[in-house]
Each structure stands twice: as structure tokens, then as C-alpha cells.
Chains A and B, each alone.
Chain A
């Protein structure tokens, strides 16, 4: 092995920049999970009865699953059993009263977001991006509310939606991801503490990018947020989430649920830049990111597009999916997943074609470095009624070094003979030839590697909102700095 490639292998240990802890007073409940804990969470959030019932239902289902030892084990990842009684299910920054404006947010929290490069003060915001910030389990600030309200767009924390728009919550909560969907979704439904809520009324094009930043701060807690986005007829919304967490030696569980509903002619673009703490270079610590994301193209000509850039987490288990129910609806999944050091990712999508002439596109780019293991798992299901359905799948893997792995599990189920499917897959190594060529022109090894990698990811990056594409590219370079020295 040449030293250039060794350098690539070593790209080790640029510290995780977002690994600090904010010292604030927390309101947290004792560890463990029981009906009483569910009641306590619901009471703390002063929820209406229907929410408590919904949670208890989910909890009962989850505990029956837990007793039956039904935690999913099929993913291509390994981790020691999780002690669900050892986790704190509610932790919130202590606050005396309800917040009415940003000025009332704990300055320590505001400083945290400043450090993360997410200024919450509205005047300093990236032009045209409204931000909701979720700190541990609670939403602490939502910006640009007034401007959005003018357009009729509701963008608020989930808790606030439960209080102010219970009828919408009641109508759509669990309509895409029921609590019975899977083990982690059931857990989330039982204990979720906050998240974001977006409602775009009929015919409205949301006037700005919406964005939520999730931050786990407290130790030994889990984060269970829930996001619900509803786009009414002809509405358009683009939403981006970002996530970071402190460096801790123990693993922390993040089990989120995202539900999207698009009605006739509506479009939802959902982008994720996931940068949870990945663990150190020996694989100690890091977030278990077990997430259920699904969108329902309920209406005709509706469109849901998932774009994800997954660079963090010790383990990623997520399959942002689309149920293409409306005729002519379109589902898209663009993914970059990077695993370095000892990270493991099992990610992909499900495209369920129900309506006529439904169309789905899957572009997955997996990058493995160090001892990283990267699995693409995708399912395309063409149901009986989905006449004229089409799918295009492309999944490419890029290996950096020879201790990492890339795996691909595409499942295809076709029940309508008129379906047209296309599948392309390729695995390549960052070639010494490519690297040497770039170096010979004057580029440093790590710049050469990140250039090759971002070239590899280009198809996905171009799907991200402009201002985040640049960020994602930088993040990728930083995450790889772990493997080039």
C-alpha cells in the first residue's frame, strides 16, 4: 500500500466540532419507562386527553413488543442491547413560564446555537430561512413566525400545535406512521416530547425555507422528536433539519418520527443534514439514530422528495419512504451516507406505488472509510392498481481504504405487469490513480479526497437548497478529515 493511500486511511481524528455541552438547569424526570412516566410527560406538556390516550395506546403496544423481544434485528448493524429502563425520557431546559419571544430564551441556549452556527436572532438569519430549534426534548425558539403567519403557514413546535391546532394534529398524527409501524416508532409515539409542526394551506407556496435544528444536550437522555408536515392542495414547502450532539462516551438513543402528507398537486421537499455525534475514532460513544420517516402522497400529482446527507451517528437506521397513493404522484429519495471509523449505517428507502402512473426515483450514494460499514436497503413495491408505475434506482458505493464495507440490498416486488423498473448499481474505490492525478496538479491529499467524494455526491447535493449544499459539502470534508491526515 502506498503512503498516499495510507494517508487516506489515516484521515483520522479531527475532533467533532459540535461536541461541547451546555451547562443549563434541566427539568428531567427519573429514568425508566412506565405508564406513569407517559402520564407524567403528557401532564408536563398539559396535553389534551386525546394525546394522553394516543400515547398510552402506543406505550402498551411498545411494551408488548418489548416483552416479545420484537426489537428489529434485521438491519446490517450490530450493537449491544439497549436498556430502555436506563434512559431518561424527558429532559427540558428549565424555564419559568411560556416563552413569548426570543428575548425570553435562556441566553445559554442562544449561545449554544450561536456556537453551532445557527443564530436564532431573526435579523441575523440566513435570508429567507425560518428556524425552529429543539434543545433536548423541547422546542425553544421558532423564528420568523409573524412573516409565515401572514402567508397562512403554521410553523411551530409540536407542543404548541397540540395546544393551538388540536384538530389538525388529531387528524394527521399517526396517519402516515401508525404507532404499530415498528418498535422505535411505537416508542416515539409513547414518549415523544416535541418536534416541529408545519401546515401549509391550500394554494400557498411557503415564502421561505423552513428549518429545524435538533440538539441533544443532556446526558443519559434519549431524544424522541416528532415532525408532522401537511401540505394542502397545491401547496409547496421546503424543509430542512440539522442535528448535532455533545461528545459522550455512552451511546445515546435518538428515535424520531417524521410524517409528511401531500394533498392534490402539493409538493414537500424534506432535506436532512444529519451530524449527530458519531463516536470517537475507536467507536466509543455516539448516537443511535433509529428514525422512521415516511411521506404520503395522498393527492393526485403530489410530490414528496427526500434528500439526506448522513454523516453523523454511531449507527444510522432510517428509510425515508413514500407512499404513492394519488395518481401521477412522485416520490424521490436522494441520499449521501458516509461512515467513517466504526460508524454503521443501514439506510435507504421504500417506494410503495399504489396510484396510477406513479413515479419514483432513488439515488443513493454510500461512502465508507476507516472501518465504516455502509448498507443501502431499498424496497420498491408496485401494487396491483399502480398501472404505468415507474421506478429508477441508482445506488453507488465508494470505498476509501480496504477495511470498510459497502452492502446493497434492493428488494423489488411487482404486482402490475405494466411497471417499468430500472436499476443501476456501482461500487468503486477511490483510486490511487485519481488521487495521484489530483495531487500532481497541486492538491493536498485531503482536498483531493474530498474533491473526489463531492464529485461522487454531486447528484444528491444539487437537490439540496442552495445555502445548505455548501454546508453539506463542507461537512462531508470535515467528516472525512477523520480519514486523511
Chain B
């Protein structure tokens, strides 16, 4: 059974069809990259997977570990092991980063029937992850993302992922806004989570990130459709020729 199976997915927002029949299969252990021009629907796909319900699914199906993802609430999908690193992480005043993350982890553990983690158990693990992402723990005493720089927010997303250890991580343009060092560090964080049980869908505009996080598959999303799929070399080709190239080629892309 695949970890994620998207079949003929059509999604509308406010009456506009944005995704027009997406098929995508992701198996455990794989890293998929989704590329495509601005406004083509990449974030829409990511948000639908995370169960944001401003988006109407008008046709098609999504199975996550064989279960109907479309019937899950966002928190259920999260507890089942689906993680979204947001393109635009949200600021929440007054909630400490550490407190938030431990609450989230415990909510997920509870869902899985595991014991909650107290601060004593949580902190050493948390420190380790902070080190992995070379993050200043002063940041953690501040409110969730409040006043974080763009790059700090993105790094914080990956930190959260590292703590929550999801089965499927969707990274929506995590690389944009990162400086060169941060990019390397974030990629290192992501790579440390790569495992045969885990899969990732990495949305990006730049081949640069894929030098660090080497994908097994690359898909090109244009105007709500996957117009092309291939191996990691497809990203290079895209960088060279631009997206317009894909639109003129006959396609029948299936991952």
C-alpha cells in the first residue's frame, strides 16, 4: 500500500477550479519534488492535503495509508502523521514556542495512545533537535514565530517537523527566504529525517534546494495539472529551459 494516493483530484476555491485532475502516488521512503510557476496550484495541493477546508474538493480521492484523508479533520491528519511546513508560517502572540511544540507533540502522542511527555523527557530531545538545526534557544523562549525573521520562521517549521517526526512531510517553499547557510542547515535537518518509513513532498522553485535534498521524483505542475514527471534530472532541465517548455511538449505524466 502506498503512503499517499491522490486520484483525479479536482479542487476549487470560491468557484474557481484550481486543481484540475491531479494524480500522484507517494510511497514510503520516497522524496517527491513539485515544481511549477507561480499560481499553478502547488500550495493549494499542499493545503488540501493538510485538510484546510476553504478548499472544495469537487472530484477525486486521497488515501493516506489507505484511509480516506478527505474525511479527516486537520488535527486528525496531523495526528496520523501528516505534516505541512507552511509557505507562510503564522505568528501567535503569547504562546511560547517550546510550550506550543510540547503541547502539539502530546496531542499527537495521545492520539496514538502513547503517554504524554513531560518537560523532563521533552527538553533533552528538544535540545538535540535545536542543535541539529543550529537554532538559538533564545528564540524558543519567544512567542510562536512572533517577530521571527522570514528565515527563522522557515527554520522553525523544520524544527517542528523534526520534533513531530511525521510519516509524510510536505514542505511548501521552505527554501525561499533562506540564506545560503540556512539552506544547507535546513536541508541537513530534512535529510536527517529521511528514512524508509517516511516520505516527503518538497515544493520548490529552485533546483538549488534539490542539490541538497535529492528527490526521487520531480513533478511539474502547470495550471492545476501535473504536466510532466521524471527523475531528479527533470529539475535541471527545467532550470535550463523554463516552464514554458513543458507546456509545449505532449504529456501523459504519471508518477
Question: Which residues does A use to contact B, with CB under 8 Å?
Answer: 2-4, 431-434, 436-445, 447-448, 451-452, 454-459
Contact = CB atoms under 8 A, between A and B. Distances in A.
A438 B84 contact: no
B103 A454 contact: no
Interface string B31-60: 000000000000000000010111000000
Interface of B: 50, 52-54, 73-75, 77-79, 83-84, 86, 89-90, 92-95, 100-101, 103-105, 107-108, 111, 143-144, 160, 164
Given A451-B100, A454-B95, A458-B93, 14 more contacts: A2-B54, A437-B90, A438-B100, A438-B104, A439-B73, A439-B78, A440-B83, A441-B78, A441-B101, A441-B104, A441-B160, A442-B107, A455-B94, A456-B94
Contacts of B92: 434, 437-438, 451-452, 455
A455 B79 contact: no
B104 A436 contact: no
Which of B83, B84, B94, B164 has the most chain A CB atoms closer than 10 A to its own CB? B94
Contact of B74 (A431, A433, A436): A436
B93 A447 contact: no
Given A2-B53, A441-B164, A456-B94, A451 B103 contact: yes
B93 A456 contact: yes
B54 A440 contact: no
B107 A436 contact: no
25 contacts: A2-B54, A3-B53, A4-B53, A431-B90, A433-B90, A436-B74, A437-B89, A437-B90, A438-B92, A438-B100, A439-B78, A440-B50, A440-B75, A440-B84, A440-B86, A441-B104, A442-B75, A442-B105, A443-B103, A443-B104, A451-B92, A451-B100, A452-B92, A455-B94, A456-B94
A3 B72 CA distance: 13
Which of B50, B75, B83 has the most chain A CB atoms closer than 10 A to its own CB? B75
A365 to B, nearest CB: 10
A470 to B, nearest CB: 13
Contacts of B77: 440
Contacts of A433: 90
Contacts of B94: 454-459
Contacts of A437: 86, 89-90, 92
Nearest to A437: B90
Nearest to B160: A441
A455 B90 contact: no
Which of B74, B77, B78, B101 has the most chain A CB atoms closer than 10 A to its own CB? B74
Contact of B95 (A2, A431, A455): A455
B224 to A, nearest CB: 21
Contacts of A3: 53
B54 A432 contact: yes
Contact of A443 (B75, B84, B89): B75
B88 to A, nearest CB: 8
A306 to B, nearest CB: 21
A440 B74 contact: yes
A433 B54 CA distance: 11
Which of A447, A452, A455 has the most chain B CB atoms closer than 10 A to its own CB? A455
B90 A444 contact: no
A406 B156 CA distance: 34
A434 B78 contact: no
B95 A452 contact: yes
A448 B83 CA distance: 17
Contact of A442 (B54, B79, B89, B90): B79
Nearest to B53: A2
A214 B47 CA distance: 49
A258 B218 CA distance: 70
Contacts of A443: 75, 103-104, 107
A485 to B, nearest CB: 12
A276 to B, nearest CB: 26
Nearest to B55: A2
Contact of B107 (A4, A444, A455): A444
A441 B160 CA distance: 9
Nearest to A456: B94
A431 B92 CA distance: 10
A444 B111 CA distance: 11
Contacts of A447: 103, 107
A364 to B, nearest CB: 15
A433 B108 CA distance: 20
A442 B111 contact: yes
B104 A442 contact: yes
A439 B53 CA distance: 12
A394 to B, nearest CB: 13
A434 B101 CA distance: 15
Given A432-B54, A455-B143, A440 B78 contact: yes
Contacts of B160: 441
Nearest to B73: A439
A436 B52 contact: yes
Nearest to B145: A437
Nearest to A396: B93
